[in-house]
Every structure is written in C-alpha cells, then in structure tokens.
C-alpha cells in the first residue's frame, strides 16, 4: 500500500496554534518588546507539541528549532541550568526521537507513528523512578535555596522522563506532560497574581500546553491500541 502524508490536524489543533501565535503577537504589540528569537521559539514550541500530540514525526523539526533557540536564549540570560538541560538533553533527543519514530511509522501514513503502551509492570517501575528522582531533586534544590523546590523538581525531572518515553513512542508520556503543564500553570498563576514581569503571557502559553496535553492523551489512547 502506498504511503501518504496525513497531518490530520483538527479545528482544536488550529485553535491551539492560532491562540498561542495571537497571544504572542498581542503581547509584543502591547509591550513593545519584539523579541524575534523568543517569538520564533514560542511558535515552534506550540507547533511541536501539537504535532507530537497527533503522533506526527514532523514535530521533531519544530522541536529542534524550539529547544535550540531556547538553549541560546537561556545562555544569554545566564540561566545555565536551562541552557544545559536544553543543549545537552532536549536538542540531542530530537534526533533520537526522529530515529526511533522512523522505525514505527504507519504503513498508511508516512508521518504518523504507531504508538504503544507500557505494561503494568513497566508503569510501576517508571512511576517509582519518577517519584524517587523527583523527591531527591526536590531535596537538593531546597538545600541550594530554590524557592519552589518541589514544583521545580516536578517540571524538570518529570519532563526529562516524559521525553524519554516520548522518543520511544509510549502513550504514558502524556500523563507526565499533563502533570508538568498543570504544575507550570500553578507556578505562572502565582507569578501573575504577584504581577511579575512577562508572567501573564507565560500563563497563557502553559494553559494552551495543558489543553494540548489532554488532547494528546486522548489521541494516543487511540493510536496506541
């Protein structure tokens, strides 16, 4: 059977993309801050997660753009932890993900991956590793003075594990992404209430990401059957 390219984007997917793009440009206009690299990184990021939620391998192209630019922006801002995480882990994992997904492409759709699910034993192991690593990281962050050690630990450690599951095309990644996004919404909501600079656009972005992660979970329940 001849392979075809079907992107299968729904109205909801376009809503997420257009919503983030509109909010990004609206913020740039209202604030007068035209951060071109930041805008490109943000737009690439939402396209990346939307395509990933659809099981579309092209997501890794946008993932590479997003993580590379974010690593550069983090380095310039002296956020060396974020720089190291993106440059040394997230960027290389885009290539690992592309390589692994290419081996699981659907015969009917040349850009659609065939998802899979962990066994209950594997879920228990991955769940235990996630909890232990998150707890250990929170303790370390608290000792070095992080004001939000538990939240920061969740968003960092769980994201690392979620990407590991993502490149292996496991459905359970979306449970972790949903957790990360909900925690991120809570963090940026607190910053928005405290009227921290740039917090409102970040809150909007994470709300869109949360909606996408729920959509991704529902979609991957179907493609991992």
Q: Kindly write down the DSSP assignment for every residue of the chain, as one continuous string.
A: ---B------HHHHHHHHHHHHHHHHHHHHH----HHHHHHHHHHHHHHHHHHTTBTTHHHHHHHHHHHHHHHHHHTT-HHHHHHIIIIIHHHHHHHHHHHHTTB-TTBTTBB--B---HHHHHHHHHHHHHHHHHHHHHHHHTT-SSHHHHHHHHHHHHHHHHHHHTTBTTHHHHHHHHHHHHHHHHHHHHHTT-TTHHHHHHHHHHHHHHHHHHHHHHHHHT-
Q: Would you say residue 95 has pLDDT above 90? A: yes
Across the range 177-185, mean pLDDT stands at 91
Q: Which of 126, 96, 104 is nearest to 55 (CA)?
A: 104
Considering the chain, what percentage of its residues have pLDDT values greater than 90? Answer: 47
Tokens of 107: 């015969």
Query: Could you tell me the CA-to-CA distances from 42 to 3, 98, 159, 201 in Å, in that order?
Result: 31, 21, 17, 11
Which pLDDT score, from 0 to 100, does residue 122 have?
Answer: 96
CB atoms within 10 A of CB 195: 8
Which residue would you say has higher pLDDT here, 129 or 4?
129
Which residue would you say has higher pLDDT here, 213 or 41?
213
Considering the chain, what percentage of its residues have pLDDT values greater than 70? Answer: 95
* pLDDT category of residue 74 using cuts at 50, 70 and 90: confident
* pLDDT category of residue 1 using cuts at 50, 70 and 90: very low
Question: What would the pLDDT profile of 123-177 be if each residue is shown by its tens digit?
Answer: 999 999 999 999 999 999 899 888 788 888 888 899 999 999 999 999 999 999 9
What's the predicted TM-score (pTM) here?
0.86
Lowest mean pLDDT among 23-27, 77-81, 141-145, 189-193: 77-81
Query: Could you tell me the CA-to-CA distances from 122 to 96, 164, 174, 218 in Å, in that order?
Result: 21, 14, 16, 21
Across the range 84-105, mean pLDDT stands at 93
Distance between CA atoms of residues 176 and 134, nearest Å: 12
Distance between CA atoms of residues 222 and 141, nearest Å: 38
Query: Could you tell me if 94 and 67 are in contact, meaning their C-beta atoms sit under 8 angstroms apart?
Result: yes
Distance between CA atoms of residues 80 and 147, nearest Å: 17
Give the CA angle between residues 93, 94, 99 to the nearest 5°.
90
Q: Which of 118, 66, 60, 116 is nearest to 87 (CA)?
A: 66
* pLDDT category of residue 41 using cuts at 50, 70 and 90: confident
Which pLDDT score, from 0 to 100, does residue 90 have?
Answer: 94
């Amino acid at each position: 059977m001849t392979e075809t390219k079907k992107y299968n984007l729904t109205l909801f997917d376009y809503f997420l993309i257009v919503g983030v793009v509109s909010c990004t440009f609206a913020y740039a206009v209202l604030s007068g801050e035209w951060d071109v690299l930041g805008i490109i990184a943000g737009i690439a990021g939402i396209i990346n997660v939307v395509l990933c939620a659809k099981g579309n391998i092209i997501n890794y192209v946008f993932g590479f753009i997003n993580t590379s630019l974010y690593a550069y922006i983090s380095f310039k801002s002296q956020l060396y932890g974020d720089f190291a995480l993106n440059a040394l882990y997230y960027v290389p994992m885009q290539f690992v993900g592309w390589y692994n997904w290419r081996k699981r492409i659907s015969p009917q759709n040349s850009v659609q991956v065939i998802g899979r699910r962990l066994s209950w034993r594997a879920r228990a192991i991955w769940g235990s590793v996630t909890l232990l690593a998150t707890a250990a990281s929170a303790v370390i962050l608290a000792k070095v003075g992080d004001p939000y050690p538990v939240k920061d630990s969740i968003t960092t450690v769980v994201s690392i594990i979620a990407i590991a599951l993502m490149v292996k095309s496991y459905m359970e990644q979306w449970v972790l992404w949903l957790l990360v996004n909900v925690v991120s919404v809570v963090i940026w909501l607190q910053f928005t209430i405290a009227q921290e600079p740039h917090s409102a656009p970040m809150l909007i972005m994470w709300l869109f990401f949360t909606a996408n992660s729920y959509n991704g979970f529902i979609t991957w329940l179907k493609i991992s059957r």
